[in-house]
Amino acid sequence: STSTTCMGVHILVYPYVSSGHIIPLLDLTHCLLDRGLVITVVVTASNLPLLDPLRSSHPSSQLQSLVLPDPGNAPPSKSRLLANMRSLREVHYPLLLNWFQLHSSPPVAIISDFFLGWTSEFASQVGVPRIVFSPSGALAFSVATFVWRDQPQNDHPENLNLSVSFPKIPNSPTFPWWQISHIYRMPKDSDWEFYRNCYLANLASWGIIFNSFAELERVYLDHMKREFQNDRVWAVGPVLPPDDDLTGTANRGGSSSVPCHDVLTWLDSCKDHSVVYVCFGSRTALTCKQMDELAAALEKSGVHFIWCVRQPVEQRRTSSDYGDLPDGFEDRVADRGFIIKGWAPQVAILRHRAVGAFLTHCGWNSVLEGIATGAVMLTWPMSADQFTNAQLLVDQLRVGIRFGEGTANIPESTELARILAESVAETRPERLIAKKLQEEALSAVRGGSSDTDLDGLVRRLNQ
Ligand code: AWU
C-alpha cells in the first residue's frame, strides 16, 4: 500500500447500517486507504466488528472509527428502513456536529450512503463537500431519480414508459411499473416526504460514486453525468477484497456460519462449473411457498448446490409467513447439497472454480459479485432495485436467466428444476457472456476504467 510519507487529506466515510450498504463502502474505504487518504469511518456499535479486516491492514494513524449509537426507536414509521433513516438523523446529527467542531483536523469531505441524504445539509453546515455513495447501480439510481423527482405526483405509473425518459439508452425496457408501484401507492405523508427529500439531497450533492463499472453501465453512467452536469460522477467497482486476501474474503460482512474451509473443501470435490450457489442477500427470507418450490426443484434437478438459508431479519410478519426446509430434505440431498443456515462466505464461494451458476435475488452487490466471478445468473428479484437489476442481467446483458419474480410469480418446481439443470451445462450461451463480462469487470479494477475513476476521485479530494 502507499507509503505513509505521502498522506492524503482526511475524509469522513459514513455507510448506512445494513449489510448490503456497509460492505461495499468498507471495501471502497480499503481502496481509498491504499491511495494514502486518512479516513474516519462512522460506524454504529453493532457494526464495529466489520472494521476488523480494515484495521488489520491499515495503521491507526490512517484509519479511525467514530462509534455512534445504533438507530434506536425512531419516530414511528411504516418501514424499518424509514425508521432507521429518521433515527440516524435524529441521534447522529448533533453528535457528528460536536465531533467535527472539536476535531483538531476535521475531514475536508464526506462520503455518505444514499440513504443518508440529510448529510448534505450537515456537510453544508460544516462547510465541506458531500459525495453520495450509491451501493446500487446507475440504472437503479436513474430510475429512482425519475420516480422521485420527475414523477412525484403521478398516480398512474402504469402509463409511464422508461424509454421515454432515457432516449439515449438502446432497447431500454419499458419498465414494469407495477414492480415499483408501491412507491406510488405510498400515501404522500411525512415518510414519503422524508424519503423524497433524501433523493433530492443526493441529486444536489457535490458528486456521486457508483459501485459499478463503465463497461457494465456506460449509458446509465453517462445519463447520471448529464443529471449532475459535471464530471464528478465516478464508477469505481466492482469493489471486492483482493483475490489473495482469503481471511478478509472469508469474513467479509460477518463471520461465516460454517467454517469457510469446510465449504471450500466440499467445493474442491466438485467438477468445474457444476455447482449452483443459492443466496438471496442479507435480508430476504423466503415464504413457505417459495421455499417449498425451490427445495423441490433443487431435489428434482439433481444438481450439486450450496443453499444459504436465511431466517427473517425482523418478524415483520408472523413467522408462519416464512418457510423452513421441508422435512427430510437435508437427508435426501446430503450427497450433493451443502446447506448454510445463517451467513455464507459468499465471495469465497463464488470465486471457486466449481461454482457455475448463482441463483440470486439480484441485490446489486450480488449482481457485481456474480459478474466478477463469471457465474451464470438465475434471477429471482424480491424488492427494491432488484427488479431493475434483473432486467439489466436478463434483457440487456443476456447473462441472466429469469427464474422467479417476487412472491407473486413462483414457477412450478419441475420447470425450475429444468432451469437449474441447464444452468450448469457448459454449452449455455450465457456462460460465454459471463466469461466476457468477468474479464471486463476484472480489467476495470486492475488498471482499467474503475481504477482511473478512483485515481481521479482521490486527486479531486486531495486538491
Ligand atoms: P446484496 O446487495 O446482494 O443484497 P442485500 O443484502 O439484500 O442488500 C442493496 O443491497 C441492493 O441493491 C438492494 O436490492 C438490497 C441490499 N452476503 C454474504 O457474504 N453472505 C450471506 O450469507 C449473505 C450476503 C454478502 C454478499 C453481498 C451482501 C448482500 C445495495 O439487496 O456477498 O456483498 O452481503 O448485498
Using DSSP's 3-state secondary structure scheme, residue 363 falls into coil
How many residues belong to the chain? 463
Q: Which amino acid, 228? A: F
Task: Return the minimum-mean-pLDDT range out of 39-43, 69-73, 91-95, 281-285.
Answer: 69-73
* Residue 78: per-residue pLDDT: 59
* Residue 170: per-residue pLDDT: 41
Q: Please list the residues that pair with 40 across neighbouring strands.
A: 12, 64
- Residue 163 banded pLDDT, cuts 50, 70, 90: low
Asked whether 253 and 24 are in contact (CB, 8 A), the reply is no
Cell of 412: 412450478
Span from the CA of 390 to the centroid of ligand 1 (angstroms): 14
Residue 191 pLDDT more than 90? no
* Residue 1: per-residue pLDDT: 40
Q: Which residue, among 208, 240, 256, 317, has the nearest Cα to 31 in the 3D structure?
A: 240
* Residue 169: per-residue pLDDT: 43
Asked whether 236 and 28 are in contact (CB, 8 A), the reply is yes
Cell numbers 466478477: residue: 372
Using DSSP's 3-state secondary structure scheme, residue 17 falls into coil
148 DSSP assignment = I
Phi (first) and psi of residue 7, to 5 degrees = -65, 135
d(CA 61, CA 106): 14
Region 90-107: mean pLDDT is 97
* Residue 161: per-residue pLDDT: 57
Which of 211, 366, 369 should be mutated for ligand 1, with most atoms under 8 A from CB? 366
Model pLDDT for residues 196-226, shown as the tens digit of each residue: 899 999 999 999 999 999 999 998 899 899 8
Higher pLDDT, 155 or 29: 29
Which protein residue's CA is at the shortest distance from atom 11 of ligand 1? 363
Asked whether 303 and 383 are in contact (CB, 8 A), the reply is no
Question: Percent of the chain, pLDDT > 70?
Answer: 88
Span from the CA of 346 to the centroid of ligand 1 (angstroms): 10
Asked whether 107 and 10 are in contact (CB, 8 A), the reply is yes
d(CA 24, CA 114): 13
* Residue 192: per-residue pLDDT: 81
Span from the CA of 463 to the centroid of ligand 1 (angstroms): 34
d(CA 100, CA 106): 6
Which residues have CB under 6 Å of ligand 1?
19-21, 23, 135-136, 252-253, 279, 281-284, 308, 343-344, 346-347, 363-366, 369, 384-386
User: Is ipTM over 0.95?
Assistant: yes
* Residue 167: per-residue pLDDT: 40
Span from the CA of 7 to the centroid of ligand 1 (angstroms): 32
Max mean pLDDT among 139-143, 151-155, 433-437 falls in 433-437
d(CA 430, CA 291): 26
Is beta strand 355-360 parallel, antiparallel or unpaired with respect to 376-379? parallel
Span from the CA of 64 to the centroid of ligand 1 (angstroms): 25
Q: CA-CA distances (angstroms) from residue 51 to 60, 63, 273, 320, 419? A: 12, 10, 33, 36, 39
Task: Return the minimum-mean-pLDDT range out of 49-63, 137-151, 298-312.
Answer: 137-151
* Residue 193: per-residue pLDDT: 86
Cell of 200: 433530492
Q: Please list the residues that pair with 358 across neighbouring strands.
A: 277, 377
d(CA 169, CA 99): 44
* Residue 3: per-residue pLDDT: 44
* Residue 74: per-residue pLDDT: 53
Asked whether 134 and 210 are in contact (CB, 8 A), the reply is yes
Region 390-419: mean pLDDT is 91
Which protein residue's CA is at the shortest distance from atom 10 of ligand 1? 20
